[in-house]
């Protein structure tokens, strides 16, 4: 059998839509009793459940023709219509192989390149299937599939109540019994090159007391995401807000919001890489309406101080924020200090806000680096004095209690505790009604959030979540100022750290020229000064906190619909004439391969 043929188990698991308890149309087979457990794949193309055994990436380009299962007595075959390859694995040389052949499911069980998995991160998909033989009619005369797509169609009931969030999100369907084309997205990125780390203390020992945001740092300390993309990661668990929007009780709703705000810190529990500082005028768009039900736009408003504005809208809520991030090195730790407020408004008109807590990166000199948020996060109701308070309990080396603990309460206008919040900020958070006198460990405690399981080999992928892996995936339709077009960030993601450092230095110098804080060495007068103003956010008075902040002006999505980006500045062009000589040829090749904007091409 050719090397590209993949091994398929005889029990292909069913995947279901996100509509709880809905009926969904699938294709089954008139098998004999010995094959009763064999099930068919539903009509979602490009499902990421074919796995490369070398790097465990879930192959992006697999589809079922029609889709249709073809049967011949007891032999089931499946038609593969597109190229099977692993986009990130260096051991897979399959990108030039295309097949439209049939592959026998019961043949060659030891084929070594690909396998259909019955579990994803330990979750058995079949556990989510509920069906009854009485729910369908079976025609004994129809033993052979003559190619009629409707000849063997039945209906099954699916209970998605316990389906993990990652699966529900990936197969989300907006309308009952209607197939929706879910956008196919990558499921991993190239692994971090070995030996790419450098000693942090050797770099920082002369920076005590300084603002690290003003110090040029090599990408070796970074992760291949911008700060705008990190802000977008806050909405990985947006389903909490969707659930909160259905609640009529303000205090219970605030408990959900507090859980959402705390859950946004889960990503830093095993990630200490610094995000790229956005260039002033840089943007990041994320449209996940097809699966998560929200879309967002973020823009870097200011270079110094580094200030970003963001707006995200879901079906029944809007969230916006302005945040300025300062990074201070204190000798034994790095402190990340966010200033600004986050606002959330539901379609009912209820308006809440909170301020993010500080984060400390510890063990700079000795030991394993780790990040830990600290302080008290407060969620305020703008229409009343109701408040939710969640304390991040500091970790102590002498404590016998478990780490990363949080304890919180929701108080009514009289100061009475109505809801309690408990758990860990990196794993799971629950709430309990304090008025029922139920202890936190008892059954009445309700789990509101559990962290998504890590993707395979995440420790080699900067400890990214699935959403983080997808944030920097290229999209040609976004604004040319989008973080996806940053050459330094793209080169780092691809593993070219030397080129990334070269590109990063250029982009930062170009920004200094535009802002007038630096002159080109070959120009007596600075002719590069350009006033970069915010295109998508405008300053206004906030009705809740009575402070001025940048809010979305409503223009970005209109311009994208028209395909009009003429107002966007050029931020990311690489001047090939000033690239270090030993890297110039390699940089020119990379610019051509990744279609980076360039100037002074030979």
Q: What is the pLDDT of residues 590-599, one digit of tens each?
A: 998 888 888 7
Torsion sign across C-alpha atoms 506, 215, 305, 257: positive
Asked whether residue 127 is assigned to any structural domain, the reply reads yes
pLDDT digits (tens, 9 = 90+) for 144-153: 444 443 333 3
Q: Kindly report which listed range (103-112, 220-229, 350-359, 590-599) carries the lowest average pLDDT score.
A: 103-112
Which is it for the CA torsion 292, 351, 243, 466, positive or negative?
Answer: positive
Query: Does position 443 have pLDDT exceeding 70, yes or no?
Result: no
The number of residues in the chain equals: 602
**Quick one: pLDDT at residue 529?**
63
Q: Which of 149, 170, 191 is the last residue of a domain?
A: 170
Residue 519: predicted pLDDT: 67
Q: What stretches of 196-328 show up as alpha helix (H) in DSSP?
A: 200-204, 227-232, 239-244, 250-263
* 423 and 289 in a common domain: yes
Q: Can you tell me whether residue 393 is helix, strand or coil?
A: coil
CA gap 221, 465 in Å, rounded: 19
- Asked if residue 418 and residue 315 are part of one domain, the reply reads yes
The proportion of the chain whose per-residue pLDDT surpasses 90, expressed as a percent, equals: 51
Last residue of a domain, one of 485, 509, 534: 485
Indicate whether 249 and 390 sit together in one domain. Answer: yes
pLDDT band at 565 (very low <50, low <70, confident <90, very high): very high
Q: What is the pLDDT of residue 129?
A: 30
Tokens of 470: 């997808």
Please tell me whether residues 423 and 508 are part of one structural domain.
no
Tell whether 221 is covered by a domain: yes
Q: In what order do the strands lie in the sheet with 102-104?
A: 64-72, 75-80, 102-104
Question: When comparing pLDDT for 76 and 89, which is higher?
Answer: 89
Q: Does residue 587 lie within any of the structural domains?
A: yes
Residues 102 and 37 in one domain: yes
3-state helix, strand, coil in the chain (%, to 5): 20, 30, 50
pLDDT attached to residue 333: 83
Q: Are residues 595 and 504 in the same domain?
A: yes
**DSSP codes of every residue in 117-135:** -SEETTEEGGGGB---GGG
Distances (CA, A) of 483 to 331, 465, 473: 32, 18, 10
* Contact present, 267 and 233 (Cβ < 8 Å): yes
pLDDT at 319 over 50: yes
Q: What b/e string do you get for 18-36 counting C-beta neighbours within 10 Å, with b at 16 or more?
A: bbeeeebebbbbbbeeebe
Lowest mean pLDDT among 134-143, 447-456, 517-526, 549-558: 134-143
| CATH number for the domain that contains residue 274 | 2.40.160.120
Same domain, 442 and 508: no
- pLDDT score of 580 more than 80: yes
pLDDT(21) > 80: no
At 186, the pLDDT band (50, 70, 90 cuts) reads very high
Give me the domain span that covers residue 581: 487-599
Residues 409, 440: Cα–Cα separation, whole Å: 12
The structure tokens 């259909």 sit at 116
| Euclidean distance between CA atoms 529 and 517, whole angstroms | 9
578, part of any domain:
yes
Q: What is the mean pLDDT of residues 432-437?
A: 80
- Please spell the DSSP secondary structure of 366-412, one letter per residue: SS--EEEEEEEEEEEETTSS-EEEEEEPPP-TT--SPSSEEEEEEE-
pLDDT digit string, tens, across residues 327-343? 888 778 889 999 999 99
**Chain position carrying tokens 């802000």:** 231
pLDDT at residue 71, as a whole number = 37
CA atoms of 275 and 515, how far apart (whole Å) = 22
| Start-to-end CA span in the chain (Å) | 48
Least confident of 27-31, 125-129, 292-296, 489-493: 27-31
Residue with tokens 């989510």: 128
In a domain, 555, yes or no: yes
Examine the pLDDT at 441 and tell me if it is beyond 80.
no
Under 8 Å CB-to-CB from 180, ≥6 apart: which residues?
172, 173, 174, 290
188 within a domain of the structure (yes/no): no
d(Cα 574, Cα 588) in Å, to the nearest integer? Answer: 9
Q: Do 240 and 123 fall within a single domain?
A: no
Q: How confident is the model at residue 208 (pLDDT cuts 50, 70, 90)?
A: low
Q: Does residue 508 form part of some domain?
A: yes
Residues 148 and 222 in one domain: no
**216-267 pLDDT tens trace:** 889 999 999 999 999 999 999 999 999 999 999 999 999 999 999 999 999 9
Asked if residue 128 has pLDDT above 50, the reply is no
The answer to the question of residue 6 being in a domain is no
pLDDT at 413 over 60: yes
One domain, residues 272 and 388: yes
Residue where a domain stops, chosen among 485, 506, 540: 485
Residues 341 and 277 in one domain: yes
Q: How far is CA 487 from the centre of its chain?
A: 21
In this structure, are 52 and 149 located in the same domain?
yes
- So what's the pLDDT on residue 77? 32
Nearest to 127 by CA among 118, 117, 136, 115: 118
d(CA 7, CA 5): 7
Report the C-alpha gap between 574 and 306 in whole angstroms. 23
Please state, in angstroms and rounded to a whole number, the distance separating the CA atoms of residues 190 and 129.
34
Helix (H) or strand (E) holding 329: strand 317-329
pLDDT bucket at 63, cuts 50 / 70 / 90: very low
The domain tally of the chain equals 3
Question: How do strand 307-313 and strand 294-302 relate by DSSP bridges?
Answer: antiparallel
* Residue 212 backbone phi and psi in degrees, to 5: -65, -15
Q: What token pair was written down for 319?
A: 């969230």
């Amino acid at each position: 059998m050719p090397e590209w043929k993949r091994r398929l188990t005889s029990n292909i698991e069913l995947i279901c839509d996100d509509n709880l308890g809905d009926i969904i149309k699938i294709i089954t087979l008139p098998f004999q009793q010995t094959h009763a457990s064999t099930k068919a794949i539903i009509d979602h193309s490009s499902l990421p459940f074919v796995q490369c055994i070398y790097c465990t990436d879930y192959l992006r380009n697999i589809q079922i023709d029609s889709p249709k299962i073809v049967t011949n007595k007891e032999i089931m075959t499946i038609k593969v219509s597109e190229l099977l390859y692993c986009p990130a694995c260096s051991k897979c040389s399959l990108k030039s192989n295309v097949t439209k052949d049939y592959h026998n499911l019961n043949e060659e069980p030891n084929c070594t390149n690909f396998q259909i998995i019955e579990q994803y991160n330990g979750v058995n998909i079949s556990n989510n299937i509920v069906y009854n033989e009485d729910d369908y009619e079976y025609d004994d005369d129809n033993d052979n599939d003559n190619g009629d797509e409707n000849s063997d169609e039945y209906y099954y009931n699916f209970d998605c109540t316990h389906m993990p969030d990652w699966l529900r999100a990936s197969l989300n369907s907006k309308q009952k019994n209607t197939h929706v084309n879910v956008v196919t997205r990558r499921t991993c990125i190239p692994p971090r090159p070995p030996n790419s780390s450098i000693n942090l203390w050797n770099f920082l020992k002369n920076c005590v007391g300084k603002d690290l945001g003003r110090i040029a740092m090599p990408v070796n300390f970074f992760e291949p995401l911008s700060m705008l993309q990190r802000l977008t990661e806050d909405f990985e668990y947006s389903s909490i807000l969707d659930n909160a929007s259905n609640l009529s009780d303000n205090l219970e709703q605030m408990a959900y919001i507090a859980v959402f705000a705390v859950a946004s810190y889960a990503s830093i529990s095993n990630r200490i890489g610094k995000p790229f500082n956005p260039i002033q005028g840089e943007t990041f768009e994320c449209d996940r309406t097809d699966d998560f039900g929200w879309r967002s736009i973020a823009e870097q408003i200011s270079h110094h101080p580094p200030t970003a504005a963001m707006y995200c809208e879901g079906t029944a809520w809007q969230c916006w924020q302005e945040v300025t991030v300062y990074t201070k090195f204190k000798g034994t730790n790095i402190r990340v200090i966010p200033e600004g407020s986050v606002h959330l408004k539901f379609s009912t008109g209820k308006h809440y806000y909170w301020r993010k807590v500080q984060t400390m990166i510890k063990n700079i000199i000795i030991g394993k680096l780790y990040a830990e948020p600290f302080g008290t996060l407060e969620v305020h109701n703008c229409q009343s004095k109701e408040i939710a308070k969640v304390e991040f309990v500091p970790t102590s080396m002498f404590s016998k209690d478990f780490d990363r603990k949080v304890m919180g309460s929701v108080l009514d206008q009289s100061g009475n505790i109505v809801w309690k919040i408990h758990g860990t900020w990196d794993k799971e958070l629950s709430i309990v009604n304090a008025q029922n006198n139920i202890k936190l460990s008892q059954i009445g405690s309700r789990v509101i959030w559990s962290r998504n399981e890590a993707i395979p080999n995440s420790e080699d992928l900067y400890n990214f979540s699935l959403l983080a892996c997808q944030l920097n995936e290229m999209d040609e339709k976004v604004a040319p100022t989008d973080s996806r077009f940053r050459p330094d960030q793209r080169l780092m993601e691809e593993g070219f750290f030397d080129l990334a450092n070269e590109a990063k230095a250029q982009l930062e110098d170009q920004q200094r020229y535009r802002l007038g804080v630096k002159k080109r060495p070959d120009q007596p007068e600075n002719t590069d000064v350009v006033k970069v103003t915010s295109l998508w956010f405008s300053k206004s008075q906030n009705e809740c906190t009575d402070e001025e902040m940048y809010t979305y002006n409503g223009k970005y999505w209109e311009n994208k619909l028209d395909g009009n980006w003429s107002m966007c500045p050029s931020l990311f062009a690489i001047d090939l004439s000033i690239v270090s000589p030993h890297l110039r040829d390699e940089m020119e090749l990379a610019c051509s391969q990744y279609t980076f904007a360039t100037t002074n091409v030979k």
